[in-house]
Amino acid sequence: MIRAMHDAEQIVAGYLAELLTPLPVPEPPAQVKVVAIQTWSDPPPPVPAPDADTRYLLCIAAGVKLAVPMADVTHMLPMPPLTPPNTTNPVCLGRWRHPSGEARVADLGAILSIDMAANPVSTLVILGNRSWALACVVNDEPVELDAESIQWRHGATSRPWLVGMSKEPKCGVIGTAALIEWLEQELGP
């Protein structure tokens, strides 16, 4: 069992590292004239300023560690009972009523991959304005991540919410605003 979990962690870590490795750009043939075209796209994810909060909450989903900026975590609590979802999408686990409204609860494992849905979760992590929450496992206190030790992704079209990969501790880094935008596109506002 322990060996299988270790193997699964290595497979997922390799997968995340592969996502963050830029593809080589092939050399154009000699007879083709290359013209640089400036395109406007979404700005790259911001690299935290030196005085920014560099504390991250390590969330575990299906054996994968993901770091969520503590500045975007409103609250954490043991997984409460949820109102059933109004969708069949496995990413949405349901809704949780709180004193100031209602949060839609997303399965962090299913966000990574639909194949990782329905893994055991123990913690509800409430994000930002309390309209979204992540179901995952949180075992540790927040950690400090040095921006210099994070390999940042820029212009990613696949999993745009995965903004980087930390070398120590080895984990994916989530861009909360991009994750919420992705959830709203995936599940509706």
Number of domains in the chain: 1
pLDDT of residue 50: 45
The SS3 call for residue 22 is: coil
Nearest residue to 13 via CA among 69, 65, 67? 65
pLDDT reading at 180 higher than 80: yes
pLDDT(98) > 70: yes
- Give a yes or no: residue 103 inside a domain: yes
Among candidates 161, 171, 172, 155, which has minimal Cα distance to 106? 161
Is the pTM value of this prediction over 0.85? Answer: no
Q: Which two tokens stand for residue 182?
A: 């992705």
Question: What pLDDT, on a 0 to 100 scale, did the predictor assign at position 184?
Answer: 93
Does some domain include residue 62? Answer: yes
- Cα–Cα distance for residue pair 4/150, rounded to 1 Å: 27
169 upstream amide cis, omega within 30 of 0: yes
Question: Is residue 42 domain-resident?
Answer: no
Q: What is the CATH number of the domain that holds 113?
A: 2.40.50.180
Amino acid identity of residue 118, one-letter, is: A
Q: Across residues 106-124, what is the average pLDDT?
A: 93
Residue 47 placed within a domain: no
Identify whether the C-beta of residue 58 lies closer than 8 Å to the C-beta of residue 169. Answer: yes
* In-domain check, residue 44: no
In this structure, the number of other CB atoms found within 10 A of the CB of residue 102 comes to 13
Residue 78 located in a structural domain: yes
pLDDT at 188: 80
**CA–CA separation, 26 and 80 (whole Å):** 51
Q: Residue 152 falls within a domain, yes or no?
A: yes
Instruction: Please tell me the predicted confidence (pLDDT) of residue 111.
Output: 95
Comparison of pLDDT for 29 and 73, the residue scoring more: 73
pLDDT in tens, 32-88: 454 444 444 444 445 544 446 789 999 999 999 999 999 999 999 999 999 999 888
- Contact status, residue 124 vs residue 78, Cβ threshold 8 Å: yes
Distance, in Å, from the CA atom of 156 to the CA atom of 72, rounded to the nearest integer, reads: 21
Domain with 112, as residue range(s), is: 2-22+53-187
Domain assignment present for residue 85? The answer is yes
